Structure 1
Amino acid sequence: MKPLLLIAHPGHELRIFQWVYQTRPHVVVLTNGDGSIGQPRLEHSRQLLDPIGVQIREDWLASVPDSGIYNALLGTAPSPFQAWLRSLIDIGMQGHFDTVVADQAEGYNPSHDLCRVMANCLVRALRQSGRSIRSLEFPLIGHSCDPARQHEVEEEVTLTGAELAHKLSIMHLYASSTSKTLERELQTMLETFGEASFARECLYPAARTPYESNELPPNMPEFERIGEERFKAGIYRNVIRTKHLRQLAQDMLNKN
């Protein structure tokens, strides 16, 4: 039985690429990764994963543009979230996966945090139905294997020198081929943590988010801070706030 890898954006699979190569998970991607420039990168991920026998399961969930996520969170467009969750619950009940691996909620991007909320609600519903499901998460912005969290690691993959070199080359090529934003993010992570940090891929037990507890995060999320700045600058008409994710989480918990 394969794991389910549930990610918000194409490209997140690169963060744990060796794990993906070894386990060949089902991959579900919430968005096509077009961002603000309107250039989807889902096809880049498909071209990366197909040769290693990993399928993006668009038959399970059809990805939408990033704006579709944002507008649905703001309530200015129909929400696909309940239908997505219901579909994944039904697939999980058919026994297609016994592990859910998904983005960690780091307060960096609302779609990342939404993905974690969906994963948690999916696992909760399956467990309540009697399924034994592991629930794991991995960081996208933080250290791949933070030494301070070593005691928390549930699953770890250590890359050889050749595997690390291959992974780094793929990450650079993917970023340069798709998005200046990805290039900047990759460069920031390399400067912050160093290339060697990518030689370990750690999966942690999934944490419950403040959104599910209907609480405020301890600090203002980065996406809300940036949203406020761009709203004041006249770039954004609306700001996605923690209240939007809290309301979504409560709706998912109450209806599933």
Structure 2
Amino acid sequence: MKTLLFIGHPGHELLAYKFLNIYKPDVIFLTKGSGSNDEPRIQQSIDLIESLGLKAYYPFEPFTDRQIYDLILSNSTDPFLSVKSAIKEFIISHNIEMIVGDALEGFNPSHDLCRYLINATVIGLEDKVKIRNYDFFQEDVRKNRSSSKKPEDITIELDDTELQNKMTASLNYPEIKLEVDKFVQHYGTDFFSVEYFRKVSDPFKVKSWNTEFPYYEEFGRKRIKEGTYSQLISFSEHIEPLAKTLFQQD
């Protein structure tokens, strides 16, 4: 099955390590993974992908994190509508049958934006082609083990050798090594031995959290009080209107 992996940040592909080996997807990144220090990490991911015989594609120029945040704060929609159009054209020209990407978690605006873009693209293609649409967790990866799985979901288990290869690749990725170490300390290496991909049942969904505000908004409020941030990305003011625009425009 011709597959596309579209992810918000370089490094997310490591949570789909065996998936990469099985499905051999084309890969597109929404951002360069530059973070607060403005140092892109995308090349590390490209090297990993190419080492597995896969290829990263650039139907649009990946954004820096600062570019994403500035566009969101200014309520700019045209650049993201252009990304949606580029992904749509890529799917058609490359005969993509399944698309997989970040889940809607309310943790990071770029992760959620990636999901909105995927869902909006799938919605826009419904009259032309049926695309199988799956997501996978980035932050609450514990749900890989604890979620109620449905028959149409994809669960992939790694054997000892595959798990070791995955952990080696993760620990050799300098930009995310601290995060990997933290998860290993809390849950052990075996925690990474299951990869779980959910069939998206509601592509129009704009929130998945039960709290008043998503995590990124609560985090932003704290940083503003500390004086670290000067502006707040708000779900109701910035993210929700952007998502609905992506769903409506075609």
Normalising by structure 2, we get a TM-score of 0.91
1:189 aligns with 2:183: yes
In the other structure, the counterpart of 1:56 is 56
1:198 aligns with 2:189: no
In the other structure, the counterpart of 1:131 is 129
In the TM superposition, 1:1-256 aligns within 5 A as 1-58=1-58, 60-75=59-74, 79-127=78-126, 129-142=127-140, 143=142, 145-151=144-150, 154-174=153-173, 177-178=174-175, 182-206=176-200, 208=202, 212=204, 217-219=209-211, 220-243=213-236, 244-256=238-250
Aligned-partner Cα distance in 2 for 1:228–1:250: 24
- Match of 2:240, as an amino acid? R
Aligned-partner Cα distance in 2 for 1:144–1:186: 16
Residue pair 1:72, 1:79 contacting (<8 A) in 2 also:
no
Normalising by structure 1, we get a TM-score of 0.89
Aligned-partner Cα distance in 1 for 2:15–2:234: 26
- The ranges of structure 1 where at least 4 consecutive aligned residues each deviate by more than 6 angstroms after the TM superposition are none
Structure 2: gaps (5+ residues): none
Residue pair 1:104, 1:113 contacting (<8 A) in 2 also:
yes
Aligned-partner Cα distance in 2 for 1:107–1:144: 15
Residue pair 2:104, 2:208 contacting (<8 A) in 1 also:
no
Aligned-partner Cα distance in 2 for 1:148–1:28: 27
Deviations 1:80-129 (A, max 9, x none): 200000111122233520101010111111100111111111111111x2
Q: CA deviation at 1:47?
A: 0.9
Aligned-partner Cα distance in 2 for 1:150–1:201: 12
Residue pair 2:153, 2:199 contacting (<8 A) in 1 also:
yes
May I ask how many residue pairs the two structures share in their alignment?
A: 247
Deviations 1:9-28 (A, max 9, x none): 00000001111122111111
Residue pair 1:101, 1:135 contacting (<8 A) in 2 also:
yes
SS at match of 2:67: helix
Residue pair 2:77, 2:245 contacting (<8 A) in 1 also:
no
Q: CA deviation at 1:148?
A: 3.5
Q: CA deviation at 1:216?
A: 8.8
Structure 1: gaps (5+ residues): none
Q: CA deviation at 1:189?
A: 2.4
Seen in structure 2, the aligned counterparts of structure 1 residues 217 and 141 have a Cα distance that, compared at 3 Å, is closer
Deviations 1:175-197 (A, max 9, x none): xx22xxx3343233223433212
- Match of 2:98, as an amino acid? T
Seen in structure 2, the aligned counterparts of structure 1 residues 147 and 218 have a Cα distance that, compared at 3 Å, is closer
Aligned-partner Cα distance in 2 for 1:251–1:201: 32
Aligned-partner Cα distance in 1 for 2:222–2:151: 35
- Match of 2:107, as an amino acid? Y
Aligned-partner Cα distance in 2 for 1:153–1:202: 11
- Match of 2:6, as an amino acid? L
